[in-house]
Structure 1
Amino acid sequence: MQVRPVPETAPLLDTANVAEMAVAPGKVNILGVGVSAIRMQDATATLEQWIARRSPGYVCITGVHGVMESQRDPTLKAIHNAAGMVTPDGVPLVWMSRMLGFPQVERVYGPDLMREMTALSARRGYRNYYYGGAPGTADRLKEVLTRAHPGLQVVGTCCPPFRPLTPEEDAATIAEINAAQPDIIWVGLSTPKQERWMAAHLGKLSAPAMVGVGAAFDFLSGQKPQAPRWMQRNGLEWAFRMATEPRRLAGRYVRNNPAFVVGALRQLVDRRRFPQMRSTTPLQ
């Protein structure tokens, strides 16, 4: 099923004191962004609970890029801190979480989370929807994953254009997605577009889970290569991605990576600026 695209607008949030927002229990405060203190099994269990309860929420898959963009954009930080789950997508966030006293944290990488939930969906009948990617990517993703997982239900795909859409187009798209009755909407728009889209549509879409997975559409459809596992495990995936897409990504990494290192060191030296929470129980 193809649907018409929706605008990538931000929700109306009160950001007056967003830098001082309390981070929810079960999240590690990393430069003011609450990152869930979880492992992969916690993330999949949380999504399954949302589906069982039919209680809508959205998931931010966040690495250094998302944390640093949130330093520059208070609304994006507020969107992260309002999310039901913010997974530690990048190894630097895992290292930082452990140094801040959360030794159980493991990487919950977007493509791996999508793989895990796709396998569960095929076994348990969860209905999936793919929103995002370049023209043809979502359909290619559907083809690849349904072939790999017999019984997987993909109830719709949509590749939105870059232009903003009218309120009427947005309303029509919401109606069509809701008519497809997905359990999980996978959103591949990249940060910060996907976070803004999910927050803007929370409460409008009936799906229990929206998960912003960025480049996972390209990786899992086979349209872009992934870094070798040894690079992923050692925090070097950024170098591989920059080498494969230098024009698009070099500026991001040059701008964000050194700034994150400086900010992380400052936080570790003066932890009072970013007080942690009392519980390490993952937010369900």
Structure 2
Amino acid sequence: MKRNILGVLVDATTYGQAVATVLDAARRRRPFALTALAVHGVMTGVLDREHAARLNSFDLVTPDGQPVRWALNALHRTGLTERVSGPTLTWHVLRAAADEGLPVYLYGSTEQTLDRLALNLQNTLPALKIAGREPSGFRTARPGEDREIADRITASGARIVLVGLGCPRQEIFVHAMRPLLQMPLLAVGAAFDFHAGILRRPPLWMRRHGLEWLWRLASEPRRLWRRYLKLNPHYLLLVAAQKTGLRRPVPPPPATDRTGSFPL
């Protein structure tokens, strides 16, 4: 069930529920959009109401990051005992897809990362069928390119699409492509880099205590310092204001119109 966190609707869900929902959409060949939002993802919606409307149109938004899970529990008493992170959810979905013979399509990142990712997946999940892979173009799509991409994905025989473009580019892409594909699209963030072995995940104790941001900041300080050192305190202040009633954010209605241009 969706809950309001600062105007962004996040689902109080678990790994098991999320995987079951994705697999059901894949079996039924049904359009479906999922993203896993940590603090940065929620704040992209807070700071951009148009993007919040886009996020609020997603079928499933999981609480990636302990602070988002904490907010769900503090604001809405959901009683969630674990977050649903993009990399871990990706692994669960891939394992289930391998078990059921559902081919997957990998979209985003670089050719080198996709090569390493595909090799690792073939070694760890030999039954997994990778229908195709396509690196990011690192540019804005030209008119009509959305249908060309959708045609390539459909022709590949894929039943699930994993999108790793980074936030918020991947959510914009998924929102634009959802009407064109009869299958679930999952915006999975850094999952490609983690499962390709390019990025290391922090120790379990850091993940459990909401300190994954600190690990990533130490790994990529120049790229991420603004994200974490500015947005994290802002997020905490806004959640406190919502909790005390000083701020009553109204979620924008889900965006039904497709973006005219979107990132590849």
Question: Could you report, residue by residue, the CA deviation over 1:164-212 in whole angstroms, capped at 9, with x for unpaired residues?
Answer: 2322444322211110121110000011000000001111123x21000
Q: Secondary structure at the match of 1:203?
A: helix
Deviation at 1:76, TM superposition (A): 1.2
For 1:10, the equivalent position in structure 2 comes to none
Q: Partner letter of residue 158 of structure 2? A: P
- 1:139–1:89 CA distance, 2 compared to 1 (3 A): same
For 2:210, the equivalent position in structure 1 comes to 235
**2-structure distance, mates of 1:172, 1:45:** 29
**2-structure distance, mates of 1:264, 1:93:** 10
Q: Secondary structure at the match of 2:180?
A: coil
Among 115, 122, 132, the residue aligned to 1:146: 122
For 1:89, the equivalent position in structure 2 comes to 64
**1-structure distance, mates of 2:155, 2:169:** 24
Give yes or no for contact 1:97–1:105 (8 Å, CA) kept in 2. no
Q: How does 1:1-284 map to 2 (within 5 A)?
A: 26-100=1-75, 101-104=77-80, 106-206=82-182, 208-270=183-245, 273-274=248-249
**2-structure distance, mates of 1:69, 1:57:** 21
Q: Secondary structure at the match of 2:120?
A: helix
**1-structure distance, mates of 2:3, 2:144:** 39
Q: Partner letter of residue 66 of structure 1? A: G
Give yes or no for contact 2:238–2:247 (8 Å, CA) kept in 1. no
Give yes or no for contact 2:103–2:131 (8 Å, CA) kept in 1. yes
Question: Could you report, residue by residue, the CA deviation over 1:10-41 in whole angstroms, capped at 9, with x for unpaired residues?
Answer: xxxxxxxxxxxxxxxx1121001111011111
Gaps of 5+ in 1: 1-25, 277-284
Q: Partner letter of residue 268 of structure 1? A: K
TM-score, scaled to structure 2: 0.90
Q: Secondary structure at the match of 2:115?
A: helix
Aligned length, in residue pairs: 250
Q: Which runs of 4+ in 1 moved over 4 A?
A: none
For 2:256, the equivalent position in structure 1 comes to none
Q: Secondary structure at the match of 1:155?
A: strand
